[in-house]
Structure 1
Amino acid sequence: MKAPTVRGGTIFLVLVTLLVFTILVKLGLWQLDRAAEKQALQQALTVKQAAAPLDYQGLLALAESESLTGYRLEVQATPVDAPIILLDNQVYEGHVGYLAYQVMRVETESEADDPLLLVELGFIDSGLDRQKLPQLTKLSREVTLSGRVYQRASNPLSQHLLAETGSPMRIQNLNLPELSQTLGLPLAPAILQPEAIPGSALPHPWQPIPMSALKHQGYALQWFSMATAFLILMAYLLIFKRKNKESSKDK
């Protein structure tokens, strides 16, 4: 009467082994696919950064058809009446702080009302007291700015602006449509990170790809290693169970 139970237990163990092994392998393959995507993105960034700088009209035209991250831009910009924006929960070289932004009007030959440009002023440490926001000196005159542009990926867990009133204005996510609505100002769909800002020494972290292809490949190796280890362990258990079954029969 015990044989069917033992056989049924073996079949169940085999099915569980195949299911878990398949899931682990698929997770590893998914990470390899992500690594390939990141490699393609990095190649596209390299091509964009090697090209000549765009003018503002050219950048806005490209926004309708492709990602703007990585393109170089050179503009004449003038400050507008808007608060400094502080993007919360940023980390740079082990320090927690903010990325600061200022809204600027780009001088163009177009007669149309172009959207305003959000310019990254740089990273600033938040300090120990989060109730006290850092104060930055705004750009107060027309300047020539040259640098690269980026579009931040939305956070799937929380993508709303969550703006706090005041000047500077602290936000939790750089949601440009919501920021535009909050400020009551039209904003371009990308941010300019200047190579240098007159009178400012704030650093400008550049991480257009949140996770590198190499990291995805490392995660893939971990999933494949787990799948191999799990398969070896379950094979050992099946062999051990079979030997115990044969020993029971001999007795």
Structure 2
Amino acid sequence: MISTVSVFALLVKLGIWQLQRSQEKADWQQELSFRQSQSELSYSQLLALPSNTLYTGFRLQTQASPAMEKVLLLDNQVYQGRVGYLAFQIMEVMPNRPWLLLELGFISTTANRSDLPVIQPISAPVMLTGRLYNKEANPMSAELMAEAGWPKRIQNLNLNQLSIELNHALAPAILQPDKLASHQLPHPWQPFPMTPEKHKGYAFQWFVMAAVFISIMGGLLLRQIKQ
């Protein structure tokens, strides 16, 4: 009896949790829409935001120059069924200020991991406009794990460890540009891997499972009573 109640309570709790996640996503989507409708931040405004800010969704417009004509490759990325890398370049916006990590886009890889893709880095000053984001940390592994040489393959976007690797401070957010004239690579990242509606769908499934479970257990209990 106790185990039956426990399982039923767990199924209901999972459904409620999915509903809460749905509301959180809906609130966050509303906040993102508001941020997207606002004027672009300047780089000085970005750096002046509180350190505990969630930067995702803010827009930025700034002139930048390549701090180095080298490319970073974020490993283990998948886009439209293809496996590859998300390429980045380090840009300088203002002298003696943190550098900006610019997303160049997704590029597929070959079966041979030793053959890194060749991407021509930005080599001249460029006007950048796009949205800022922070990728959620992987709970299983958040270490940079940078490999030697260039292009430099990394396993996670750990900005703190990357700044140590580069021996230079980095801005606390990554810029995904609206477009880059020099690069036509896709930009697959989106703020939400799952919509509020999907969370509601999962909640409905948990509640249905709870109802079916309690019906089956109730039927078994009635059968035992009759016997």
Q: Name the TM-score, length of structure 2 as normaliser.
A: 0.95
Match of 2:49 in 1: 62
1:199 to partner: Cα distance: 2.0
Distance 1:140 1:82, change over 3 A: closer
Bigger radius of gyration among the two:
1
Provide the secondary structure at the position in 2 that maps to 1:232: helix
Match of 1:33 in 2: 20
What is the percentage of aligned positions where both structures have the same residue? 50
Whether the 8 Å CA contact 1:28–1:223 is kept in 2: the answer is: yes
Match of 1:78 in 2: 65
Whether 1:101 aligns to 2:88 is: yes
Match of 2:195 in 1: 212
1:207 to partner: Cα distance: 1.0
1:198 to partner: Cα distance: 2.0
Deviations along 1:32-90, whole A, 9 cap, x unmatched? 11111111111110000000111001111124352111111111100012631111111
Matches within 5 A, 1:83-162: 83-107=70-94, 113-162=96-145
Provide the secondary structure at the position in 1 that maps to 2:60: strand
Whether the 8 Å CA contact 2:69–2:122 is kept in 1: the answer is: no
Deviations along 1:126-156, whole A, 9 cap, x unmatched? 1222221101000001011111110111111
Match of 1:187 in 2: 170
Q: Choose the corresponding residue for 1:238, options 209, 221, 224.
A: 221
Give the letter for the 1:34 counterpart. R
Partners in 2 of 1:60 and 1:185 — Cα distance? 15
Partners in 2 of 1:122 and 1:54 — Cα distance? 22
Structure having the higher strand fraction is 2
Structure having the higher helix fraction is 1
Partners in 2 of 1:200 and 1:42 — Cα distance? 29
Whether the 8 Å CA contact 1:82–1:183 is kept in 2: the answer is: no
Point out where structure 1 has 5 or more consecutive residues left out of the alignment.
1-13, 245-251
